[in-house]
A and B are shown apart, each in its own frame.
Chain A
Amino acid sequence: MIWVELALIAFVVIGALFAATIRGLVGSIVTFAGLTLGVAIIWVLLAAPDVALIEAAVGAGVTSVLFMIAIVKTSSSRSNDEDHKGLFRSLNLPALLVVGGLAIPLGYAFLSLDPVGSANAAAVSMEFADGSQTPYGYYIEETLPEAGFSNAVVSVLVVYRGLDTLGELIVAFSAAVSILIVLNREDIL
């Protein structure tokens, strides 16, 4: 099983390097969509199918289409980038330093996470170090007896953290309304 995960991680990392360095934006988008599917399978292996569904549908599907629309709408038929030969574009050293400076602390923080499924992991622990009850432990323990159904993710989203979800939906709603205003078609609302 560990070999499947290592192979997937290698696929995602190599895919990310390709997406960043390959010449031509369309190639970048296709590589990005492929590596996102790899990330979605990693979520399934980490027992997070809810996140995997979102990752596959939004990351690989809808986002790629949005990027494609943006490229078709904005670029001329032949960009300067594609006139040069070779598979990869030249690297921008300052950008590489910034990305590396961000990636190394993130990777270091990753090492301090609890192992998957650990009973003492922060996300499922029942008590803080001072003995008081954590909200996450409460959600996991009380979803079935209090809300009456078993998916704790949905119960956190809708029952216990409904105001956050309402805020998210207001953001989505205003995005759609602003698209209509930008396109000068707010009359259909």
Chain B
Amino acid sequence: MSPPTDESTARNEQIAASKQTAVTESPVVKTASRTVTPFVIAFGIYLTLFGTSLPGGAFQGGVIIASAITLIAMAFGFGPTQQWLSAPALAGLFVLGATIFGVVAFGALAYGGAVLELFVFPLSVEDMVKLIEVAIAALVSGVIIGLIIWLADGFGEGGESI
């Protein structure tokens, strides 16, 4: 270990400064995103559940839920958000979505239909579509939140966090 030279100290200070500016420390942004997020998530759920009769749908709803969490991550920093959202719960979200979709898709075989034939279930087609929409929204939001937060923070081990 050689003693730090002026050059390396200056470089470390530069890195520390760039780390500090990467995360917004603005109370305005924090308060605004904290206030807006519940409404954005509610809008995403609304789009998912009412996509059968109104413009919208599961992909839109899931992406909007994910963008609300992205807003939180941009305002409060990716590292704290990654610690706040438990990774197994996030993985469980998209595994749950995939499982529901798979069970519905192949459950049609048990009722004597083809794969994904929704007309053979005892529930109405609209209810089955809503079930699948919830599954798609869970999968899409889980995948996008995971992509952004895990890519940005890398689980806080090795590499620098944003």
List residues of chain A with CB under 8 Å of any chain B CB. Answer: 49-50, 53-54, 57-58, 61-62, 65-66, 69, 72-73, 77, 146-151, 153-155, 157-159, 162-163, 165-166, 169, 172-173, 175-176, 179-180, 183, 185, 188-189
Q: Quick check: is B25 within 8 A (CB to CB) of the other chain?
A: no
Q: Quick check: is B143 within 8 A (CB to CB) of the other chain?
A: yes
- What is the interface of chain A mostly: helix, strand, loop, or mixed? helix
Our pick among B78, B126, B129, B143 for the contact of A175 (Cβ within 8 Å) is B143
Contact A151 B147 (CB under 8 A): no
In whole angstroms, how far apart are the Cα atoms of A149 and B103 in the complex? 23
Binding stretch for chain A, among B1-9, B26-34, B64-72: B64-72
Q: Quick check: is B97 within 8 A (CB to CB) of the other chain?
A: yes
Contact B125 A148 (CB under 8 A): yes
Contact A165 B136 (CB under 8 A): yes
Q: Which B residues touch A69, using CB under 8 A?
A: 78, 148, 151-152, 162
In whole angstroms, how far apart are the Cα atoms of A53 and B60 in the complex? 6
Contact A166 B52 (CB under 8 A): no
In whole angstroms, how far apart are the Cα atoms of A173 and B133 in the complex? 16
Say whether, besides A61-B67, A69-B162, A183 and B52 are in contact (CB < 8 Å).
no
How many B residues, CB 8 Å from partner? 57
Closest A residue by C-beta to B118: A159
Say whether, besides A69-B162, A151-B53, A62 and B129 are in contact (CB < 8 Å).
no
In whole angstroms, how far apart are the Cα atoms of A169 and B125 in the complex? 20
Contact B64 A53 (CB under 8 A): yes
Least distance between B74 CB and chain A CB atoms (Å): 7
Contact B148 A62 (CB under 8 A): yes
In whole angstroms, how far apart are the Cα atoms of A77 and B133 in the complex? 43
Contact A72 B94 (CB under 8 A): no
7 more CB-based (< 8 A) A-B contacts, given A53-B55, A54-B63, A166-B105:
A57-B60, A58-B63, A61-B70, A66-B147, A72-B22, A172-B143, A176-B143
Contact B162 A153 (CB under 8 A): no
Q: Which B residues touch A159, using CB under 8 A?
A: 118, 125, 129
Return 18 A-B CB contacts under 8 Å, by A number: A53-B63, A54-B60, A57-B66, A65-B73, A65-B74, A66-B148, A69-B78, A72-B22, A147-B125, A149-B125, A150-B52, A151-B51, A151-B55, A159-B125, A162-B118, A162-B132, A172-B140, A172-B143
